[in-house]
Amino acid sequence: MKEAIASPLPIPRNGESSMRLVCLLLVGGFCLLGCKTSDEKPAPPRSVLELEEKDFTGYASFEVGQDQSSVDTGLTIHQGQALLIQATGTLQTDIGEVGPEGSTVRRSQTTSCMFPGPAYRLLARIGQRVFPVGEELALVAPEDGPLELLINYCESSITGRFSVRVHDTLLEPEVLADSPPLTDNSVLETHTVRVEADTSEWLPTEIQLTKGRKVFITARGTVESGGVNFDANGSKNVKPLSVLPHRRAFRLHGRIAGKVLDLGRETVFLSPANDRLELLINRTDDTHGGFDVEVGLGVVPARGLGSLRPEDFTQHQPISKTPDFRAPAETSFEIEKGTPLLISATGKLFWYSRTFPNSDLTCSYGPAGCCGSTENGPFPFPTERPNALYGRIGEQIFHVGEESILLAPASGKLELFINGVSLYTFADCDIATFTFNCNKYCFTDGSPVICRTRCLPVFGGSFDATVHAP
C-alpha cells in the first residue's frame, strides 16, 4: 500500500481573505487529532460474555426487594439485543443476609420455586424465559418481550433491596462476535492440580481464567472420613461441621472472584469473571486424602446459555416421566461433555396420604418439585429438591425443573428421573419411623396449604419433558 502524502496548505494570494487560511489550519488540526488513518484497524469482535459497562451508552436503575419482589422495568427487549444486568445490595431473610447470588442454605420454610438454583437469587424474565442474574448477567436476548426483575422465592418475608442497573444499548453494535459457537468443545490448554483434604483453606492455583471462558473439570482420587471413601462427587448429605456447611460434604468446589461453584467429579462451566481459580474439598475435621483435578481451558463462545432457543437445536425428543422412582426415563441422546442442552417440562404429580386415602387434602407438584429440605428423608438425593425432575449423565445429576439450560457435565446417555421415594420400597406407612419432610408445604391451585400428615404419600400424574440437543 502506498503511503499517503499530505498536500501543503495553500498560501493566500493578494486580495484573498486570511480567514481561509485560518479555517484550513483548524480543519487540518482536527484531522491530526481525531481522523483515522488507513493503517488503523477496528477492534476485533468480542463475545457478549466479555461486555462491560463502558460498552454501553448508559443504564436504567431499578430496586427490587421488600416492597416489590418483582419489578416491571418498562423496558421492551427485542430478540438479538445485547443486555448487561448488574446488581448489588443485600436482603435480610429467614436464612440470614443474602446478596444477589442467593443462598444455598436449605430450610423447610424456604421456597425458591421459580427457578432452579439458590434461594433469593436475582432473576430476570423476558417474555416467557427466566434467566439467573445474580451479580451480573450478559446475554443476547433470545426473544421479544418486556423485561421483568424477580427474586427467587415464594412465601417468606424479606427486608432490604437489590439495586439493579440494566444496560441495553451498545455504543457499537458491530462489536459482537458470531463465533466460536457454544458447541465448540475444543480444549486449548490443560492443567493438573492436587487438592488435599487436610486443610480448610481454599487452594489458590496458577490457573488464570478469563470471563466467559469454557472450563472443563475432571477430578480423580478419593478422600476418607470415618472409614468411608468418597470421590469428588462427595456425600449425598450435608455435614454441619464441614467447611461449607450447607453444601454436600466431601465434594469438590471451586471459587472465582468470590463466587463459589459446585464442581464434583466432572462438570463444565463458563467462567463468571477474570480471576484465578481456587479449589476446596468440603471437608470435616477427620477427612484425609485428596483429588487430582484436571482443568481444561476452552474457547470463549460468542454467546452464553441464556441466548439459546429451542430452534437453535437440531434434535428434539419428547419424553414422559411417571412417578415410578426406580426407573429413570432414558433418552436416545449420547451427549458429549460440554454440549449445550435445553430441557423443558410440564405436568404435575399428585399425592395423598395413606393414612387418609379418602381425604380431600391432595397436594400437587410441578416439575420444579417441592420446596424445602429433605436432609432427613429417604430420597435418592436427600440434599436435592424432593419430587422434582432431574437429569443425569453418567454419575452427574442436575435439576431440570420446568426448564434447564446447561452445559453437559459429562459424556454419556442422558436420563431423566424424579427425586422421590419408590412406592415399591416403602410399602407400609409407619409414622413412628418414617418422616416425609416435603409435606410441610404443598400447593393446591397455587395456594399454600399445610399437609396434616407426615406419612408416605401415594403419587399419580406425570411430567412431560422435551429435550433439545445439537
CATH number at residue 325: 2.60.120.430
Task: Please check whether residues 317 and 460 belong to one and the same domain.
Answer: yes
Q: Tell whether the model's pLDDT for residue 32 goes beyond 70.
A: no
Question: Looking at residues 344-370, what average pLDDT do you find?
Answer: 57
pLDDT interval class at 390 (50, 70, 90):
confident
% residues pLDDT > 70 (the chain): 70
Q: Tell whether the model's pLDDT for residue 403 goes beyond 90.
A: no
Task: Please check whether residues 373 and 258 belong to one and the same domain.
Answer: no
pLDDT interval class at 33 (50, 70, 90):
very low
- Report the distance separating Cα 392 and Cα 405, nearest Å: 14
- Report the distance separating Cα 237 and Cα 254, nearest Å: 19
CA distances from 282 to 44, 132, 262 (A): 41, 25, 10
Count of domains in the chain?
A: 3
pLDDT interval class at 413 (50, 70, 90):
very high
Q: Answer with the one of 297, 320, 336 that is the final residue of a domain.
A: 297
pLDDT value at residue 155: 57
Task: Please check whether residues 69 and 196 belong to one and the same domain.
Answer: no
pLDDT value at residue 238: 79
- Give the model confidence (pLDDT) of 256-309 as tens digits: 999 999 999 999 999 999 999 999 999 998 899 999 999 999 999 999 999 999
Classify strands 275-281 and 252-256 as parallel, antiparallel or unpaired: antiparallel
Question: Looking at residues 316-338, what average pLDDT do you find?
Answer: 84
Task: Please check whether residues 290 and 320 belong to one and the same domain.
Answer: no
The answer to the question of residue 143 being in a domain is yes
Question: Looking at residues 173-189, what average pLDDT do you find?
Answer: 93
Task: Please check whether residues 62 and 129 belong to one and the same domain.
Answer: yes
- Give the model confidence (pLDDT) of 101-122 as tens digits: 988 775 443 444 456 678 889 9
Classify strands 389-393 and 396-399 as parallel, antiparallel or unpaired: antiparallel
Question: Looking at residues 69-98, what average pLDDT do you find?
Answer: 92
pLDDT value at residue 247: 87
Task: Please check whether residues 412 and 351 belong to one and the same domain.
Answer: yes
Asked if the bond preceding 457 is cis, omega within 30° of 0, the reply is no
Q: Tell whether the model's pLDDT for residue 352 goes beyond 80.
A: no
The answer to the question of residue 31 being in a domain is no
- Report the distance separating Cα 284 and Cα 250, nearest Å: 8
Task: Please check whether residues 199 and 138 belong to one and the same domain.
Answer: no
CB 362 within 8 A of CB 351: yes
Residue of 12, 7, 11 whose CA lies nearest to 28: 7
Task: Please check whether residues 274 and 143 belong to one and the same domain.
Answer: no
Q: What is the mean pLDDT of the chain?
A: 78
The answer to the question of residue 183 being in a domain is no
The answer to the question of residue 214 being in a domain is yes
Question: Looking at residues 361-389, what average pLDDT do you find?
Answer: 53
CB 245 within 8 A of CB 238: yes
Structural domain span for residue 359? 308-469
Q: Tell whether the model's pLDDT for residue 431 goes beyond 60.
A: no
CB 421 within 8 A of CB 406: no
Q: Tell whether the model's pLDDT for residue 253 goes beyond 50.
A: yes
The answer to the question of residue 26 being in a domain is no
CA distances from 48 to 173, 305, 309, 351, 392 (A): 11, 11, 16, 45, 29
Task: Please check whether residues 380 and 432 belong to one and the same domain.
Answer: yes
Q: Answer with the one of 120, 151, 175 that is the final residue of a domain.
A: 175
The answer to the question of residue 244 being in a domain is yes
Q: Tell whether the model's pLDDT for residue 12 goes beyond 70.
A: no
Task: Please check whether residues 241 and 263 belong to one and the same domain.
Answer: yes
The answer to the question of residue 120 being in a domain is yes
Task: Please check whether residues 366 and 386 belong to one and the same domain.
Answer: yes
pLDDT value at residue 156: 63
Strands (E), 106-202: 122-126, 129-132, 136-140, 145-151, 159-167, 189-196
CB 402 within 8 A of CB 342: no
Task: Please check whether residues 61 and 100 belong to one and the same domain.
Answer: yes
